[in-house]
Structure 1
Amino acid sequence: MTDGDDATDRTPSETRRATPGGGVRPTADDIEPAAPEEFGLVQAWWGGGKGKTTAALGMAFRAAGHGYRVHLLQFMKGGADSVESVRGEYNAIAAVPGISYENTGHYGWHGMLDGSDEDEHLAKARGALARAEELVAAAGDADLTAPLDSDGDPEAGVHLLVLDEILYAADQGLIDEADVLDLIDSKPADLELVLTGSHSEPTYLLDAADLVTEVRKVKHPFDEGVRARKGTEY
């Protein structure tokens, strides 16, 4: 069959063989350092529904599973009285090569009248922004077209950087929307950048981001007074 053949003339077996996987059932392989061929986009996940961080973590683990270097920087998740101090995702990250995390958030939640220090929220968010700028600059100094050390510091470069809750920090006025846009503008071409957070649409990102997804709530057990559950929310 030639490249010019109509795909509709293929048998099911031929169609499967023409896919990137060649029709072979997926299996798990050992993780070895590798470099992505098509990274470099900007993704934004926002909305009032559950799943923004979960989606970002799913991509992070998927990328790490291919041997790419991944780092998660969390802006607004310093802890709360509804969750334990140990997070399931942190335990999983520690067990998987090539993915690391850091949490720069202040205890509590900004604007929720939970007794936490609002000035400290501001300071922590601005510190997280400075850290994000540092990590993006470091990625610019690295060769992202080559494999990176799975155990290397994120300052040595990462292929995928997740900035969790950065959009919420901007929505709350802890950092400026312009700061987020400047961060995107400074991103090296091969760095995949994932931004999450905010219940309000980040319209300022519509031209700057390649993918914008709204996670909409239809129903949530929180509305019935169910608190965060171990293994689903943390």
Structure 2
Amino acid sequence: MSDTDPDVDDEPQHRRTPGKGVSPEARPIEASVPEEFGLVQLFWGDGKGKTTAAMGMGFRAAGHGFRVHMLQFMKGGADSVDDVRGEYNAIAAMPGFSYENTGHYGWHALPDGSDETDHQNDAQAGLERAKELIAAAADADLTEPFDLEDPPEDGVHMLILDELLYAADRELIDPDTVQELVDTKPENLELVITGSHTKPDYLYDHVDLVTQIGKEKHPIDAGQRARRGTEY
């Protein structure tokens, strides 16, 4: 029995949690501001789920009323992928979450039957756009809420640079420019970067969280094509 609360030991353990063991109900999304944003996160590895993890975190942040934007590098897809991805539809329906894509069809150097095209210009355009968005965040007051319909040029609380590490790994952009991009991030911007099967050692001293997503078994190795609803 507790000396301070004689009844506490009579409660089930799940009733002593902050939520008291009750499933929370969804609440309306209202523009809000994060209290502790400002880290740089990396998701890399040869396993499935890097983009999925980053987008999941984006949805979580947007669900709290924070402004989130995702800029995708090299995400135009392959000839096995429809021209509309499920995540784009979901993001379009989510208040405060927006996206843009600088890639095009044909995945660079992937032997999946895709048509190969020149990705260099697209990667460079994506890099310049990332610089613009980070500069816009630096000019904005990230300690205040944003209107959930405001464009990302007005500032965001979380910026996801999806597949940026792949573009650097494949030498479509200089890895040093990625490091410089991270170093110019404003203090309160949460920056999330994904991609690459190769460990991005050049960034480890410049980031706060690194998650390696490793493959143990993947149906692509047996010839499975991308599937609607799981890969796109």
TM-score greater than 0.5 by the shorter chain? yes
Corresponding residue of 2:227: 229
Alignment of 1:79-158 (within 5 A): 79-112=77-110, 114-118=114-118, 121-158=119-156
> 2: distance between equivalents of 1:141 and 1:11?
52
Tell me the TM-score normalised to structure 2 length.
Answer: 0.91
* Letter of the structure 2 residue corresponding to residue 76 of structure 1: M
Alignment of 1:137-216 (within 5 A): 137-216=135-214
Tell me the TM-score normalised to structure 1 length.
Answer: 0.90
> 1: distance between equivalents of 2:34 and 2:9?
32
> 2: distance between equivalents of 1:199 and 1:75?
15
> 2: distance between equivalents of 1:96 and 1:115?
33
> 2: distance between equivalents of 1:91 and 1:71?
14
C-alpha deviation, 1:24, in angstroms: 5.1
- Describe the superposition over 1:174-232 as per-residue Cα deviations: whole angstroms up to 9, x where unpaired: 11111111111110100000000000000111111101111000001111111111000
C-alpha deviation, 1:64, in angstroms: 0.4
Label 1:11 to 1:188 Cα distance change in 2 as closer, same or farther (>3 A). farther
C-alpha deviation, 1:106, in angstroms: 2.6
> 2: distance between equivalents of 1:161 and 1:61?
12
> 2: distance between equivalents of 1:13 and 1:173?
59
Query: Is 2:63 aligned against 1:65?
Result: yes
Pairwise CA RMSD: 2.1
Label 1:13 to 1:169 Cα distance change in 2 as closer, same or farther (>3 A). farther
* Letter of the structure 1 residue corresponding to residue 116 of structure 2: S
Q: How many residues align?
A: 225
Q: Which runs of 5+ in 2 are unaligned?
A: none
* Letter of the structure 2 residue corresponding to residue 84 of structure 1: D
Which ranges of 4 or more aligned residues in structure 1 deviate by more than 4 Å? 10-24
C-alpha deviation, 1:111, in angstroms: 2.2
Label 1:13 to 1:202 Cα distance change in 2 as closer, same or farther (>3 A). farther
C-alpha deviation, 1:89, in angstroms: 0.4
> 1: distance between equivalents of 2:170 and 2:10?
52
Corresponding residue of 2:54: 56
Q: 2:43 aligns with which of 39, 42, 45?
A: 45
